[in-house]
Structure 1
Amino acid sequence: MKQLSLPVLLNAKMRLSNFVGAKNNQIVTLINTLFNDTHSNVVVISGDKSSGKTHLLQGCTFTAMDKQLSAVYIDIKEELPTDFLAQLSTNDWVCIDNIEDANNTQQQELFDLYNQIKHTQTKLIISTHHLPAELNLLKDLKTRLSLAVNFTLENLTDEQKTAILQSKMTDKNINIDPKIYPYLFKHYSRDLNDLLNAINQLDKASLQRKSNITVPLVKQVLDFDND
């Protein structure tokens, strides 16, 4: 197994097995079938912020490594060496997050990578906020990605977000009043990343104060008023 060294830490909790969403089961099923496919494949995953794109890509990376395959997860937002993307064709799985942030040089490298893997078994999984046709990319790259398998993730319901947040609390062995979640949705944010950050802040505050996570603590720590 070969794993490239990059300044990106994988989150061990992001697995395909705990990726949520009824419609999203379709893409998980597709991804799982690719592990038995001997041809190269390109899949573009689009979705709104906090729809689970990073979770899915890191889940692919973990599954590949579990199967003793060479895999690499890359976030385009991170600083990458020049010509790095074009050198990834020897990997079995290449998962590239936030492709809309790629500069022109990186886009050309990605186009080169796309062409290099045509006759390999490499699986190229790319995430983006919008469908390729809607992105400001090099024309040839946009055309290639538009012809790939494209899948749009569904937006999570409040119930699904609650399940994710509750899972985080269970992992930390922390009890929390279930009423806290709808309170956060109404008065703080419905964005999952914002909510996860808030939960981490509340966790630290409750440990410092040696108290439970309550509505008064939420208002104090997150510094917002009940409107």
Structure 2
Amino acid sequence: MNYYYITFEFSIEQFFIDIDLNLDLKVEKQLYFDIDDAPSFVEDNFIISSSNQNATDYIYKWPNWASNCVVLFGESGVGKSHLANIWHNKAQALKVTLENIDFKDVQKRKNILIDDFELYSNKYNDLFHIINLINEINGYLLMTSKVNPASLSTGIKDLDSRLRNVTPIKIDRPDDFLLEAIIIKLFSDKRILIDDRVIKYILKRSNRSASELIKLVNIINNKSMEQKRAITVPLVRDVFSDVGY
């Protein structure tokens, strides 16, 4: 069994081109890349499909938004953080968490990004003040969440009112094209080029949710590393058997 260890940079678009040009990855061979596997949120790697087209169009309309505060919401793994980070770069925004907020920095930078804001329920009072400050200084606040902000009950009536008045932008569950692209992207973030037969096998037998694909890819990669096996259909079949598919 042959393994190749190489290092280079590529965009997801080039990745598709390579596949289209018959890269000819044999089942018994696997390309591993010796690079940190942190997710790549660069703009060129964002994949647009019917499920995220509306959200993408709205983000790119900035600064011509309907309100100063916008929330991207949808299930885990649909691309909220990726799209938010594209805006973060375009708007030269400050990315903060509610656990560690400096209001002087907010006032100075004006454009603010907060990921998964609903997780910081103990800091909702700070969020209320951030929203007020953003409106006062004519800045912009982009937040991501797994839930529609209008459905939250924070225990702070004024904050609930503010959240009902933000602009909610939903990213839908991924369509077939995006699901396949997500699998490719998840493996490419780990610097692994994956065989098309493996992709088709995963899609056919998984529950087709982005959050589940994230878990599956991690399990598949871990099993591959532990057993020193290339990621092939037989290995993925073993994983599915292990997790009860």
- Give yes or no for TM over 0.5: yes
Report the 3-state secondary structure (helix = DSSP H, G, I; strand = E; otherwise coil) of the residue aligned with 1:34: coil
Ranges in structure 2 where 5+ consecutive residues have no aligned partner: 1-37
Question: Residue 46 of structure 1 is aligned with which of 54, 57, 73?
Answer: 73
What number of residue pairs does the alignment pair up? Answer: 205
Q: Which residue of 2 aligns with 1:29?
A: 57
**With structure 1 as the length reference, what TM-score do the two structures score?**
0.72
- 2-side partners of 1:13 and 1:107: how far apart? 27
Report the 3-state secondary structure (helix = DSSP H, G, I; strand = E; otherwise coil) of the residue aligned with 2:173: coil
Q: Which residue of 2 aligns with 1:156?
A: 174
Answer yes or no: is 1:180 the counterpart of 2:198: yes
Go from structure 1 to structure 2 and tell me whether the alpha carbon gap of 1:132 and 1:85 turns closer, same or farther (over 3 Å shift): farther
The one-letter code sitting in structure 2 at the alignment partner of 1:24 is N
Go from structure 1 to structure 2 and tell me whether the alpha carbon gap of 1:58 and 1:223 turns closer, same or farther (over 3 Å shift): farther
Report the 3-state secondary structure (helix = DSSP H, G, I; strand = E; otherwise coil) of the residue aligned with 1:51: coil
CA contact under 8 A between 2:46 and 2:82: conserved in structure 1? no
Report the 3-state secondary structure (helix = DSSP H, G, I; strand = E; otherwise coil) of the residue aligned with 2:141: strand
Q: Quick one: percent identity of the two aligned structures?
A: 23
Deviation at 1:107, TM superposition (A): 1.0
* Larger displacement relative to structure 2 (124-133 or 190-199): 190-199
Pairing 1:184-199 to 2, within 5 Å after superposition: 184-199=202-217
- 1-side partners of 2:130 and 2:181: how far apart? 38
Q: Which residue of 2 aligns with 1:217?
A: 235
Go from structure 1 to structure 2 and tell me whether the alpha carbon gap of 1:17 and 1:123 turns closer, same or farther (over 3 Å shift): farther
Go from structure 1 to structure 2 and tell me whether the alpha carbon gap of 1:51 and 1:170 turns closer, same or farther (over 3 Å shift): closer
- 2-side partners of 1:46 and 1:183: how far apart? 29
Q: Which residue of 1 aligns with 2:24?
A: none
User: What per-residue deviation string (whole Å, max 9, x for no partner) do you get for residues 186-221 of structure 1?
Assistant: 444433243234334434654676654222211334
Deviation at 1:225, TM superposition (A): 7.1
Report the 3-state secondary structure (helix = DSSP H, G, I; strand = E; otherwise coil) of the residue aligned with 2:113: strand
Answer yes or no: is 1:125 the counterpart of 2:153: no
- 2-side partners of 1:144 and 1:128: how far apart? 15
Q: Which residue of 2 aligns with 1:6?
A: none
**RMSD of the TM alignment (CA)?**
3.2
Ranges in structure 1 where 5+ consecutive residues have no aligned partner: 1-9
**With structure 2 as the length reference, what TM-score do the two structures score?**
0.67
Q: Which residue of 2 aligns with 1:13?
A: 41
* Larger displacement relative to structure 2 (153-162 or 182-191): 182-191
Go from structure 1 to structure 2 and tell me whether the alpha carbon gap of 1:193 and 1:15 turns closer, same or farther (over 3 Å shift): farther
User: What per-residue deviation string (whole Å, max 9, x for no partner) do you get for residues 155-213 of structure 1?
Assistant: 1023311112224445635241x232343244444332432343344346546766542
Go from structure 1 to structure 2 and tell me whether the alpha carbon gap of 1:131 and 1:85 turns closer, same or farther (over 3 Å shift): farther
- 1-side partners of 2:71 and 2:157: how far apart? 16
Go from structure 1 to structure 2 and tell me whether the alpha carbon gap of 1:17 and 1:222 turns closer, same or farther (over 3 Å shift): closer
